[in-house]
Amino acid sequence: MPNVTFVNAGKTVRVGALSNLRRVALGAGVPLYNGLAKLANCRGAGTCGTCRVHVEPAEGLTPPTLREKARGCTGPYRLACQAQVASERHDLVVTKMEGFLGKGKQPQAS
C-alpha cells in the first residue's frame, strides 16, 4: 500500500489504490482548504477549485478528470476531490500551496 505524505501537516498515511485524495486528507485531519475556502467550497463536487494541491509524482494518481482539465489542474497540480491514488507503486508527496485556490508559489503555513 502506498504512503501519502501531506507536507504541510507533517502527516503520512497508508492508503489503498483508488483512494480519493480529498477523503484521505480530511479523514487524517489534514487541512485541505485555505482561509475562506474552509467555508466556501463545493464539498468535493469538483467545481470550486479550492482543493488544489501539488502532488509528486504525478503518475501516482489517476489521469486528470475533465473538471480538473477545465481548471488547468494537470501535471503535479490536481484537485484533491477528483484525484485518486493510481496504484500500489508510488508513494505520494502532497503539498498545499498558499492562496484561496492554492495557486501561490509558497506552501501554505500550517
User: Which range of residues in 6-14, 43-51, 93-101, 102-110 is near ligand FES by CB under 6 A?
Assistant: 43-51
81 scored as a contact of ligand FES (CB under 6 A): yes
Looking from the CA of 47 toward its CB, the CA atoms found within 13 Å total 5
Strand partners, 53: 78
Name which position in 8, 19, 50, 84 contacts ligand FES (CB under 6 A): 50
Amino acid (1-letter code) at residue 14: R
CA pair distance 91, 4, nearest whole angstrom = 6
97 scored as a contact of ligand FES (CB under 6 A): no
CA pair distance 65, 13, nearest whole angstrom = 24
Here the cell at position 12 is 503520512
CB nearer to ligand FES: give 42 or 93: 42
Name which position in 34, 41, 84, 108 contacts ligand FES (CB under 6 A): 41
The residues of the shown chain that bind ligand FES, judged by CB under 6 A, are 41-42, 44-51, 79, 81
